[in-house]
Amino acid sequence: MVVEKHVMFRVRGGLDFTCQLDRTDESYVKQTLGKAFESVRSAVRSPSLVFGVQNSPVFLWPNRSLQATRQGVTENTTCRELQQHIQINEGDSGKRSSKKKDKKDGTTSIINVDLLTEVTEPVLCSAPMLFRQEGKHHFVKMKLPADCVVSAHMDETIGEYVCCGLPESEMKCVCTHLVEALCTQLTNMEEVVLRHRSGTSLPIPEPFHFLLPEPVGLITAVYPAGVPDTQLEPVRKELHRRLELPDDRSCMRRANAYHFPDEPYRDGYLRSPHLALNHPSLEGTKLYLVQGIYSYHHYMQDRMDDNGWGCAYRSLQTICSWFQQQGYVERVVPSHKEIQQALVDVGDKPASFVGSRQWIGSIEVQAVLSHLLGITSKILFVSQGSDLATKGRELANHFSTEGTPIMIGGGVLAHTILGVMWSETSGEIKFLVLDPHYTGGEDLQVITDKGWCGWKGPDFWDQRAYYNLCLPQRPRAI
């Protein structure tokens, strides 16, 4: 059991935004939008704001000296104590339990919070007054999709300032921090709307969270809905400059957005199963791994019976998913038929190849990546499997610089290499292999326990068979 020290509060909800734009000159629009956004910020700071803690009976009024509906929840309640009121799903039984599960992977807990507003309005003390003014007006009304994340120490209170061992300057309470984060996000939304508006047409500002390398950590960026990533490159360049991120890597495209651990992937594919593995301990070796997220594609998925012939197709699909999920391409992972049609289109195969059960190899994988995704690849030729143990330097350099999955084909088998452990002095090496020949369901424990994703020694490869390795190259783009 891992004792957690931090928890992430994620508050989400729609905030009503209205304004009337009668002119399009910059000063007028800026002033009008500023007043409209300030009205929304005032609503966030108002006593009617309510935080509803999901899967619990707890509702909090953060701007009313922290009133709460649940007996026993007060300003002095800690995050750890608040978690005891949250129910969790128990598998597929449909039952819920208020017991906390033991955390074995050390991941940070997520407390999801709904952003609500009291409907009850105070009674007016005087009769309303109506004014009539004729003329044409452009009235804007939309929901602002607020989505804020705040990290808190388990021993922080939700409504009273305590230090929790922190310096006095860092003393805070969770609810105040959440309200401040919402107001900050509204200011960022205002900047995005002003920057990307077209006359009186306003884009909906959408927040995205990105988990960046330390010391940056989890940050939020707001992008205008409907504007493709290709048109937001200047915005990303500014973010990369400000955050000191590489100027040749995709880090903050929409596809790079952080996937919270409590949210399932809708497509059903497992993501990055190697992250569940314990790495072998080899003295004097260094670890070189695939960088980023990918989907595990294997036999019998997508209602496609490719058992015995589709391993290279599945390895190619895994590689395509990597480029998609890093934001370098927008097209979906190609099907077997689309892969075959691509090879026909480039003149590599006859028309009869489409719909067949014929194998493909590393050279075909290279051609499809180039034709469908515009991705270049290097080919590493190995005359016999016993020579793969001598390729540690080349593979380590690939994962250090490119970080993409490698397709390896030899004889009648194809696999995906996700990393190596290699010693520059002794030459000792192990390969992290993702096996596309798996035919079962998306069971992470089975896949890792049975070695379908796991570390293999040099003897894993057929010592006498030739091998071609396709090493996809990462585009140099933000």
| Residue-level pLDDT at 326 | 93
Handedness of CA 243, 244, 250, 256 (dihedral sign): negative
pLDDT of 466 strictly over 60: yes
Calculate what percentage of the chain has a pLDDT beyond 90: 73
pLDDT digits (tens, 9 = 90+) for 183-207: 999 999 999 999 999 888 899 999 9
The CA distance from 418 to 273, in Å, is 10
Region 167-195: mean pLDDT is: 86
Could you give phi then psi for residue 60, rounded to 5 degrees? -125, 140
The CA distance from 223 to 229, in Å, is 9
**Catalytic positions, please?**
311, 435, 437
Region 320-338: mean pLDDT is: 95
∠ CA 441-446-451, nearest 5°, is 115
Reading the block at residue 429, the tokens are: 């090496």
The CA distance from 291 to 251, in Å, is 11
| Residue-level pLDDT at 163 | 45
| Residue-level pLDDT at 160 | 64
pLDDT of 165 strictly over 60: no
Dmax (CA) for the chain in angstroms is 93
Model confidence at 285, pLDDT cuts 50, 70, 90, reads very high
| Residue-level pLDDT at 48 | 93
Model confidence at 218, pLDDT cuts 50, 70, 90, reads very high
Region 50-70: mean pLDDT is: 90
What does the H/E/C string look like for the chain? CCCCCEEEEEEEEEEEEEEEECCCCHHHHHHHHHHHHHHHHHHHHCCCEEEEECCCCCEEECCCCCEECCCCCCCCCEHHHHHCCCCEECCCCCCEECCCCCCCCCCCEEEEEEEEECCCCCCCCCCCCCCCCCCCCEEEEEEEEEEEEEEEECCCECCCCECCCCCHHHCECHHHHHHHHHHHHHHHHHHHHHHHCECCECCCEEEEEEEECCCCEEEEEEEECCCCHHHHHHHHHHHHHHHCCCCCCCCCCHHHCCCCCCCCCCCCCCECHHHHCCCCCCCCCEEEECCCCCECCCCCHHHCCCCCCCHHHHHHHHHHHHHHHCCCCCCCCCCHHHHHHHHHHCCCCCHHHCCCCCCCCHHHHHHHHHHHHCCCEEEEEECCHHHHHHCHHHHHHHHHHCCCCEEEEECCEEEEEEEEEECCCCCCEEEEEECCCCCCCCCHHHHHHCCCEEEECHHHCCCCCCEEEEEECCCCCC
What the chain holds in terms of domains, given with CATH numbers, is 6-120+137-256 (no CATH), 273-472 (3.90.70.130)
Contact yes or no for 49/171 (Cβ under 8 A): no
pLDDT of 468 strictly over 60: yes
Contact yes or no for 340/359 (Cβ under 8 A): no
Region 55-69: mean pLDDT is: 89
Of 92-101, 131-140, 331-340, the poorest mean pLDDT is in 92-101
Reading the block at residue 185, the tokens are: 């996000």
| Residue-level pLDDT at 100 | 42
Contact yes or no for 42/120 (Cβ under 8 A): no
Nearest alpha carbon to residue 234 among 30, 242, 430, 214: 242
The CA distance from 175 to 68, in Å, is 12
| Residue-level pLDDT at 458 | 95
State which amino acid sits at residue 164. C
First to last CA, the chain: 40
pLDDT of 115 strictly over 90: yes
State which amino acid sits at residue 299. Y
Model confidence at 43, pLDDT cuts 50, 70, 90, reads very high
Residue that is written with structure tokens 């995704």 in the block: 373
pLDDT of 13 strictly over 60: yes
What is the chain's Cα-based Rg?
27
| Residue-level pLDDT at 281 | 85
pLDDT digits (tens, 9 = 90+) for 288-319: 999 999 999 999 999 999 999 999 999 999 99
